[in-house]
Amino acid sequence: MVMHRVIKGTPKTAIVKRTPTGKWFVSITVERSSTEGQEKRLPPSEEEVGIDVGLKTFAYLSTEEEIANPRFFREDEAKLARAQRKLSQAPQGSKEREQKRKVIARTHERIANRRKNFIEQEVSKLVTRFGFLAVEALVVRNLVKNPKLAKSIADASWSMFFTRLLAKAEEAGRQVVKVNPAYTSQTYSGCSHRQPMPLSVRVYECPNCGLVIHRDHNGSLNILADARRAVGRHSRVIPEAPGL
């Protein structure tokens, strides 16, 4: 077999997997000592960041930086649709049908590999740079129930991003704090004024203090503030909605 990395530690279990394209993989779980687990620790960092994931941009940081949304599935959606039509036209049980099936499987595999590579690279950049990372505790499986947004949310792969961020941060000795997503977009990060913010509105204009800020930047600042409060560093007051 082709080994991606040298096995370090005592092998305990092995999971063998065959992909729809016919490739075989073996994932080996190993037990390592506490001293071995310290190898991936990074130098301490005092930088903090709030991360607001989205669909227009993959993520907006409290540092006013954006991570573009690559939309891998959307790129190949038309190609997949054509391949699906050709598959449906191929005779059942024929070699032609099996070939068409493999074309679709390879396209899905390519999308998944590109998405995974993107997530790994962006997570690595964030964990290397920041010592304190704040994210929303989103329940993605509930969000994908929205038929208008389900495909875009699945393509963005927020679940994979959060999972890899938590795992990489733990390995590197970084702190990740998950906060309640309630009102992070509706509350102004400066004076705590709150107002409705439909998804179509991309700029937050505060009628209370007059300041204007990008919707996602405002959300990322609130996420960071709530995370600081959660660990005793800072607090943000969420006001009652008008009329309540």
Supply the residues annotated as catalytic: 52, 136, 216
What token pair was written down for 104? 């679709």
Q: d(Cα 107, Cα 97) in Å, to the nearest integer?
A: 16
8 Å CB contact between 52 and 59: yes
Strand partners, 24: 18
| Residues whose CB falls within 8 Å of the CB of residue 130, separated by 6 or more in sequence, listed in order | 45, 47, 48, 49, 174
Query: Angle at Cα 75 formed by Cα 71 and Cα 81, nearest 5°?
Result: 125
Q: Which residue carries 């991360």 as its tokens?
A: 51
